[in-house]
Amino acid sequence: MGKVRLSVLGISYSQTQSGAYALVLSEENGNRRIPIIIGGYEAQAIAIQLEGLTPPRPLTHDLFLNFARAFGIDLIDVHIYKLEDGVFFSKLHCENGHKELSIDSRTSDAVALALRFNCPIYTTDEIVEKAGITLDVEEFDESDTSEYPKKEKKEDDAPTDPFTQQLQRMSIEELKELLNEAVENEEYEKATKIRDEIKRRS
């Protein structure tokens, strides 16, 4: 069974399930994408790491990282090994210098941890064949790690979100200060919108 290395392409709102998100993984040596439906908390944990935001207090996955490092445990890789009835099954491949073992994990947690440990994510050829879809580059911007879905915007389209409109009237310095405040207060959805506005101007 062939091993396929994956990278995290981004997160968007799920078009099929209300209140859920789609985590999109991409095969490194190909153009197929694997969308995985995950919950809001897990989407936030992944998005925070993708955005490079530093919470004032460790989130659960950060705590797991700190705990593992304190006891000399490393996460070698993540393996998405099974797809059954639309559910992806994953294992964490860990070692402590003396012993290696695999631990069952939800795929959303496994990906959140892989990003924090900076370790590779693998799956099988069979899963890519079964769940992979081919997207044109234009359909998903790889540089966009936002939780929010991409949609076509015309130049004269006005943002409907009052908070976004407010951000557009602020200076870069004000936006950076507001971003720090949002992270400090653990308002990560707000922080992502501010970060998007800063990126839009750069």
* Residue-wise pLDDT tens digits, 62-116: 999 999 999 999 999 999 999 999 899 999 999 998 999 999 999 999 999 999 9
Q: Which residue has the higher pLDDT, 77 or 193?
A: 77
- In this structure, the strands spanning 121-124 and 74-84 are parallel
- Residues 116 and 144: their CA atoms lie apart, in Å, by 19
The residues, ordered by sequence, that sit 6+ positions from 123 with a Cβ below 8 Å of its Cβ are 3, 4, 6, 25, 34, 79, 80, 81
- Residues 108 and 36: their CA atoms lie apart, in Å, by 8
For residue 154, what pLDDT is reported? 39
For residue 1, what pLDDT is reported? 59
Q: Using 50, 70 and 90 to split pLDDT, how confident is the model at 127?
A: very high
| Strand (E) or helix (H) holding 24 | strand 21-27
* 76 alpha carbon, distance to own chain's centre: 19
The residues, ordered by sequence, that sit 6+ positions from 24 with a Cβ below 8 Å of its Cβ are 8, 9, 10, 11, 12, 33, 34, 35, 36, 140
Q: Count Cβ atoms below 10 Å from residue 32 Cβ, excluding itself.
A: 16
- In this structure, the strands spanning 32-38 and 74-84 are unpaired
Q: Which residue has the higher pLDDT, 83 or 141?
A: 83
Strands (E), 116-192: 121-124, 133-134
Q: Which residue has the higher pLDDT, 190 or 50?
A: 50
Percent of the chain with pLDDT over 70: 83
pLDDT of 131 > 70? The answer is yes
Task: Give the predicted TM-score (pTM) of the model.
Answer: 0.72
Q: Using 50, 70 and 90 to split pLDDT, how confident is the model at 149?
A: very low
Look at 31-35, 95-99, 166-170 and tell me which has the smallest mean pLDDT.
166-170
* For residues 142-155, average pLDDT: 40
pLDDT of 138 > 70? The answer is no
- Residues 152 and 60: their CA atoms lie apart, in Å, by 35
Q: Count Cβ atoms below 10 Å from residue 106 Cβ, excluding itself.
A: 15
